[in-house]
Chains A and B, each alone.
Chain A
């Protein structure tokens, strides 16, 4: 029983990190129908810049803030330089965002060096609670909390605010939104920047969780995020939460019970979903 609880918390924490990464991806796809293969690069940039600032200032909170700013700035640059010139051409979009991913990863090595970087859990989040026989690691609970918090904030913004209304309308019909006098291009930019900031946040939270960060982590995590986006349904925000939790839990249980299959299980899950239900488990409607 203790084991099961531990595995579940583990899976939930991983799932939340994937959710933060995947939610940006799915929002961008739903609104702009751009599949951003450079998303993992933004994730790695968030991790590096956040941890760098965290070690510099000694405050994890400032590190997170710095990662968010990095995400926003990089998102702005990416949208303006990379996405806009090839808007509407899918093959070019796929090719160019993958190329940008390459550049981001290599630039990371130029700035911070090619070696791994250690990331420590801040003292107030380190350690664990013992409840009966169950050992609960604080940092994991923190991640789960942040994940649900972000989900709540975004869900509120999407459902209750004007900008959320515009975004939801844009997912349904871009031309109509434009015809109603809203500058959809600007909305694209905002959503892209928000998605990038989420990716960076996911990166900086991931860093102390895994202990070390390295430039290629972006790519490895991005694959999981893609899987989640596909399973959850492209463009569906709640779908990506559920799919991320599913993938996180499946990975955590499988890593314990059938270690050989732990990576394969997600790929198989995605393959099955793609073949039988290509639109994903949840369809995106606003």
Chain B
């Protein structure tokens, strides 16, 4: 099923020659990767990070700076992805080690503060980042063709999906879910939750950095907006609306949000109220947190599960209490 969709999407740009759609879908793929990485934290490990944008921005800046300073070739592009991921891994490791033993409130706040610090750093370090004005750069020759880039991003999305699915279904991933469900009990079973949380945050950070690198190349431009809270909020909305604790959910969420955003900002020309489209997402998001904490995919999956067992199986809504 998923394979068919992936193949259909791969053929799509050769059938249709709508440039807008190719770009829009590329954007959806990139944000799907980001949202999936966020779901590793929120959905599988049960930790709320408000600093995910810093890893995204790290990838975006590494790629942009290297493509501009060294040369716009494929080799540099691949190298820059690697460097960005390595940086993200190191930083998420240290931040995680220092902060993940704190309770959820503190962790959320601290990640917010640290990502704020990175934003300030990027704004002040003008010689490299050119602050809020940002800078343009040349993408590798190979990506001059939008369709080529589309295919590459789709391939990376599929690879990341497969990798993350193996990751969450591995024994390691099961421990992450156990940490989410009940940290004390996991500890008493002999697993060190801190160890697992840190690795989860490193994996999430690395994947977010990859998404950032692709994002920078897709725009051929980078400024401090890649480090702002908006990016974290996007990832959060996509994950919550699509469905936490499923990998398909964030992809669905990314598609819904990007598409709606596209249409609503089109409508804004006629109806100015739609310029504030984010309100609708905010309200939907709040309603989702209260009434559908499992999101679209999670809710559908639950319904299907109930129907197939035909029994009143006890509700397995995860209680993410952590006091």
Contacts and interface: CB of A to CB of B under 8 A. Distances in A.
B294 to A, nearest CB: 12
A92 B110 contact: no
Interface in B260-318: 273, 275-276, 278-279, 281-283, 285-286, 289-290, 293
B1 interface: no
A73 B109 CA distance: 26
A95 B106 CA distance: 14
B320 A89 contact: yes
B54 interface: no
A218 to B, nearest CB: 12
Interface in B96-147: 98-99, 102-106, 108-110, 112-114, 116-117, 120-121, 124
B48 A91 contact: yes
A121 interface: no
Given A29-B105, A226-B113, A271-B98, 12 more contacts: A33-B323, A35-B105, A91-B321, A92-B320, A96-B289, A99-B282, A110-B273, A263-B117, A264-B117, A270-B110, A274-B106, A278-B102
Contact of B240 (A89, A95, A103, A226): A95
B66 interface: no
B233 interface: yes
Contacts of B286: 82, 96, 99-100, 103
Given A106-B278, A109-B276, A223-B116, A99 B109 contact: no
B46 interface: yes
B113 A270 contact: yes
A258 B290 CA distance: 46
Interface string B42-81: 0000101010000000000000000000000000000000
Contacts of A103: 279, 282-283, 286
Contacts of A260: 124
A103 B286 CA distance: 9
Contacts of A33: 323
6 contacts: A102-B278, A102-B281, A106-B276, A106-B282, A226-B112, A267-B117
B91 to A, nearest CB: 14
B264 to A, nearest CB: 13
Given A91-B320, A103-B286, A106-B282, A274 B46 contact: no
Interface of B: 46, 48, 50, 98-99, 102-106, 108-110, 112-114, 116-117, 120-121, 124, 229, 233, 236, 240, 273, 275-276, 278-279, 281-283, 285-286, 289-290, 293, 319-323
A122 interface: no
A256 to B, nearest CB: 17
A103 to B, nearest CB: 4
Contacts of A107: 279
Given A106-B278, A109-B276, A278-B102, A226 B290 contact: no
Interface string A86-99: 10111110111011
A85 interface: yes
Given A35-B109, A89-B321, A264-B117, A98 B124 contact: no
Interface in A220-269: 223, 226-227, 230, 234, 260, 263-264, 267
Contact of A96 (B46, B116, B290): B290
> What are the 10 A-B residue pairs with the smallest beta carbon separation, nearest first?
A103-B282, A91-B320, A102-B282, A106-B279, A99-B285, A96-B289, A35-B105, A99-B286, A267-B113, A85-B290
A230 B104 contact: no
A219 interface: yes
B52 to A, nearest CB: 13
A95 B276 contact: no
B120 to A, nearest CB: 5
Contact of A264 (B50, B102, B120, B323): B120
Given A95-B289, A100-B282, A107-B279, A227 B240 contact: no
A275 interface: yes
A247 B139 CA distance: 44
A278 B104 CA distance: 12
A108 to B, nearest CB: 10
A226 B109 CA distance: 7
A90 B322 contact: yes
B289 A99 contact: yes
